[in-house]
Structure 1
């Protein structure tokens, strides 16, 4: 029986590169899609452009994601909704006070979502939800509801431990989330490329927001004034 011809090192290296390239395609496609969805919006993003930016053919993209809608859902799961299991686990293991937990929540959100390209996804959904109701329902189910539930659990923890006063939890959740969404939208609109008064320092902004959530505007003996610059 004739022996097979030896495989050259160059051929083996090429096969290895091809294998790595194939394995990397889904993540590269999701990264390219995130960039384009945030830059152009859902309606204006073409599958051809996503494939081109990722360096693959449109046919290759459809091997992994059968439609633009499924590609968008995968982007949301990769960057936001797929992280709720970890965030809920962190909630269960947190041992500090609830004010400290709320601080951790706000600044973790900034580090993991707010300061990344993924912070453009909420703005996209707010602007295009009416035109794509199926995607809006998906986003409601996989992002908004779990996010609201997690914030509500934090507030309930504070009330149960007598660290927070009783409140309407539905609107308590909104009071926590609304400024975070504002910061995300601001940096993808007026805060993007504009100078002067339109610039916000995210850490100072979140510190001010946390101070307002915990103390409000009213000066009381229980909550004397603490200059913002002294906050960590």
Structure 2
């Protein structure tokens, strides 16, 4: 038996950054950026506060790692789906409607989205990171797909970026609702149903044929 106060197992040093990032994702989601303390992250990860400084100099650096490990793989899926789909755009949109709720299902990710929106004014750097590494690439990939669909005559004229924002906006609103109002008793929205219904409605509005 291990002496009192000894850890039950010894982690490989190579695993510690991943454990710290996973713990930080949970803490950021639960407490927000301002209230998240390195002590909290260290305790959740099962390491000392000093161990965090072996891998991350600041809390912002930890947030960068959270984006890189927990968020960017999801963005990569969206970009790959958009890039690999030659058409028709309606099939791509329906594929995104099925994929996006799955990616947004993790409560920790929703909590981080709420954190970025709520604390952007006081911590503009986290908003900038989220925009540059998450929002802009995903919105850009969808905008490019819409522009290509317009060139094929599948989508009516209009700003592709505005169309893209119109498609994903209600899903983000649904996540914010889930993280903000559902915990205090509001009736929740089912994200997969929201995505399917909204995308079908949007596709009709984007069609060059008003009777489609």
Alpha-carbon distance in structure 2 between the residues aligned to 1:160 and 1:144: 24
Measured against aligned partners, the alpha-carbon deviations of 1:143-198 in whole angstroms (never above 9, x if no partner) come to 12112201101211221222211112232122012111101111111123636xx2
Alpha-carbon distance in structure 2 between the residues aligned to 1:152 and 1:121: 24
Specify the structure having the higher radius of gyration (Cα).
1
In the alignment, which residue of structure 2 is the partner of 1:55? 46
* Superposition TM-score, scaled by structure 1 size: 0.78
Q: Does 1:209 align with 2:208?
A: no
In the alignment, which residue of structure 1 is the partner of 2:137? 146
Alpha-carbon distance in structure 1 between the residues aligned to 2:82 and 2:177: 28
Unaligned runs of 5+ in 1: 1-16, 224-232
Unaligned runs of 5+ in 2: 1-8
Match of 1:90 among 81, 88, 105: 81
Q: Does 1:157 align with 2:133?
A: no
* 2:142–2:164 Cα contact (<8 Å) kept: yes
* Superposition TM-score, scaled by structure 2 size: 0.85
RMSD over aligned Cα atoms: 2.0
> What secondary structure sits across from 1:126 in the alignment?
helix
Structural mapping, 1:34-183, within 5 Å: 34-112=25-103, 114-116=104-106, 117-183=108-174
Match of 1:29 among 11, 14, 20: 20
Higher relative contact order (CA 8 A, sep 6+): 2
Alpha-carbon distance in structure 1 between the residues aligned to 2:77 and 2:196: 24
